[in-house]
């Protein structure tokens, strides 16, 4: 799924035919682009030259960014794969992730009272991961069946609005079922403390998250590239009608895409609990938006792109506020962490909607 795009993006993000014309809009957008780059560079210069943070603090921020970013990548895979086959943003995917995290919380809470939790943490972590995967996969498949399947071939905005409805429904169903309170993920003793890897001191939980996410993504990549099912997924995302003519079960493939995306979101939900131990019914919204940003950043429809996009966004979001905002001496700049993420989202969509690696779908969007 990594073929380079055939359409070069013009300055305004549209197809090439616009490049030749200089419109007021493109002038404005270029001005905006230059201004943003200038603001970022000057801010970074100010904050680095002030020497507020030591090298090790920067490194901690970077590692933290990579670990949250790898969770974003896992969620982004669901967005990107669904976009690949159905060409629509599954807004409810953030909630699929949240359901996984919720189930992971309750399973972990249940296990924490048993001897298994302390005795064999690997086994209990696996149980937590698998139950989160099962829950998220089921939710993703049910949502597809109930809300999206009857809408094949409908105008584009309709499934999008439906997915917003699905997102709200899932959020408030979970709120109704388990209550609005914020839950605290139980601690896992063996995961506290740090690992020393080649002289780098890294929190253990972050290492686990990064390794698990990498393993899942590697597995998914092999699945999509090497197996028959993966091949049919690629075929459907290339051209569903032709794929159907070639004897591929399109609906079945779409269900499998939702299932795989859901499973990744479930893993992400369980891993999220290790990094950010607090959780409520609304916790899926923001990671969902950020994961979507990652998917676009990497080039939507592009699996490797989603992985890269997630990690870049994670790093950008964790380093960005201290690097750029602190440079301008903005008070309480950590409040603006999400603004950085949203700004990244907006800028990526405006200036490079085809993403880092380029999407194959550029021409068809619209």
Partner 1 sequence: MAQVEVPPAVVEVELRPAPPVDMRRALRLGFSGGAAMVLVAATGIVATFQERMVIDPILPLGLMFLYIVALAFGWMAGQPPQTLEGFAPARVSGRNYGAGTLAGGLAGLCIGVLVILMSVFDLRGVFVELSPALQSILTFDLAVPVAVVVIAAISAVAGALGAGIHALPTRTKKTLLPALTWVVIFSLMTDLFGQLFTGLSLDWLTTRLYPRRGGPLTITGAVIVFVVFLALHWYLSGRDTSMRQQVSAMPRRRRLGVRTAATGALLIVLYFVPQVMGPFVSQILVTAGIFLLMALGLNIVVGYAGLLDLGYVAFFAVGAYTAAIFTSPQSPAFTPQLALIAALPFVVLAAAIAGIMVATPVIRMRGDYLAIVTLGFGEIARILLNSEWLSPYFGGAQGITNIPDLQLGPFHFNTPQDYFYPIFLFVIVAAYITLALQNSRWGRAWMAMREDESVAEAMGVNIVTAKLSAFVVGAILASFGGSLYGAQIGSVFPHSFDIVVSITILVIIIVGGMGSVPGVALGAVVLIVLPNLLREFSEYQFLFYGVLLIAMMLKRPEGFIPSKRRAQELHQEEVAQDAWLEIYGEKGATGEPIPEGKT
User: Which residues in 296-325 contact partner 1 (CB under 8 A)?
Assistant: 296
Nearest distance from C-beta of residue 321 to partner 1, angstroms: 11
Nearest distance from C-beta of residue 287 to partner 1, angstroms: 14
Which CB, 13 or 277, lies closer to partner 1? 13
User: Does residue 345 touch partner 1 according to CB under 8 A?
Assistant: yes
User: Does residue 169 touch partner 1 according to CB under 8 A?
Assistant: yes
**Sign of the dihedral defined by the CA atoms of residues 220, 221, 223, 229, in that order:** positive
Which single residue is written with the structure tokens 């090497």? 226
Site for partner 1 in 201-240 (CB under 8 A): 239-240
Site for partner 1 in 121-160 (CB under 8 A): 146-147, 149-160
Which CB, 146 or 211, lies closer to partner 1? 146
Nearest distance from C-beta of residue 112 to partner 1, angstroms: 13
Read off the DSSP letter of residue 262. Answer: H
Q: Which of 86, 111, 308, 319 binds partner 1 (CB under 8 A)?
A: 86
How far is residue 246's CA from residue 255's CA, in Å, rounded to a whole number?
18
User: Does residue 249 touch partner 1 according to CB under 8 A?
Assistant: yes
Q: Which of 19, 44, 62, 106 binds partner 1 (CB under 8 A)?
A: 106
User: Does residue 168 touch partner 1 according to CB under 8 A?
Assistant: yes
Q: Which has the closest alpha carbon to 303: 224, 227, 365?
A: 224
Judge contact between 308 and 26, C-beta under 8 A: no
Nearest distance from C-beta of residue 5 to partner 1, angstroms: 16
Q: Which has the closest alpha carbon to 170: 271, 85, 102, 71?
A: 102
Q: Which residues contact 203 (CB under 8 A, 6 or more apart)?
A: 63, 193, 194, 195
User: Does residue 52 touch partner 1 according to CB under 8 A?
Assistant: no
Nearest distance from C-beta of residue 23 to partner 1, angstroms: 7
Q: Which of 292, 298, 303, 360 binds partner 1 (CB under 8 A)?
A: 292
Site for partner 1 in 12-41 (CB under 8 A): 12-14, 18, 23-25, 28-29, 32
DSSP 230-246: HHHHHHHHH-HHHHHHT
How many Cα neighbours within 13 Å face the side chain of 188?
30
State whether residue 200 is helix, strand or coil: strand
Which CB, 196 or 364, lies closer to partner 1? 364
Q: Which of 116, 118, 164, 222 binds partner 1 (CB under 8 A)?
A: 164
What is the H or E stretch that residue 100 is in? helix 93-112
User: Does residue 254 touch partner 1 according to CB under 8 A?
Assistant: yes
Q: Which residues contact 50 (CB under 8 A, 6 or more apart)?
A: 327
State whether residue 195 is helix, strand or coil: strand
């Amino acid at each position: 799924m990594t073929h380079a795009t055939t359409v070069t993006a013009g300055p305004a993000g549209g197809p090439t035919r616009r490049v030749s014309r200089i419109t007021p809009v493109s002038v404005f957008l270029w001005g905006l682009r230059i201004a943003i780059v200038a603001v970022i560079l000057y801010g970074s210069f100010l904050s680095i030259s002030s020497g507020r943070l030591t090298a090790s603090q920067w490194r901690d921020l970077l590692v933290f960014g990579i670990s949250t970013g790898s969770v974003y990548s896992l969620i982004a895979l669901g967005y990107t794969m669904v976009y690949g086959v159905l060409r629509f943003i599954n807004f409810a995917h953030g909630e699929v992730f949240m359901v996984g995290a919720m189930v992971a919380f309750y399973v972990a809470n249940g296990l924490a009272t048993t001897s298994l939790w302390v005795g064999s943490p690997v086994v209990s972590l696996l149980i937590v991961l698998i139950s989160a995967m099962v829950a998220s996969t089921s939710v993703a498949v049910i949502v597809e069946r109930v809300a999206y399947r009857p809408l094949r071939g409908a105008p584009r905005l309709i499934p999008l609005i439906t997915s917003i409805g699905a997102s709200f429904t899932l959020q408030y169903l979970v709120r109704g079922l388990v209550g609005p309170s914020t839950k605290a993920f139980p601690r896992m003793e063996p995961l506290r403390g740090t690992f020393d890897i080649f002289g780098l001191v890294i929190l253990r939980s972050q290492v686990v998250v990064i390794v698990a996410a990498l393993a899942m993504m590697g597995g998914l990549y092999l699945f999509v590239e090497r197996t028959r099912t993966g091949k049919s997924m690629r075929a459907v995302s290339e051209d569903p009608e032709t794929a159907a003519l070639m004897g591929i079960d399109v609906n079945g493939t779409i269900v499998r895409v939702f299932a795989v995306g859901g499973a990744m979101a479930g893993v992400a939900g369980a891993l999220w609990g290790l990094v950010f131990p607090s959780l409520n019914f609304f916790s899926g919204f923001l990671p969902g938006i950020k994961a979507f940003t990652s998917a676009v950043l990497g080039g939507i429809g592009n699996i490797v792109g989603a992985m890269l996009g997630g990690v870049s966004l994670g790093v950008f979001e964790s380093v960005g506020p201290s690097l750029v905002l602190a440079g301008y001496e903005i008070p309480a700049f950590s409040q603006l962490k999400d603004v950085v993420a949203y700004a990244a989202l907006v800028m990526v969509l405006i200036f490079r909607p085809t993403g880092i690696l380029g999407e194959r779908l550029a021409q068809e969007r619209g």
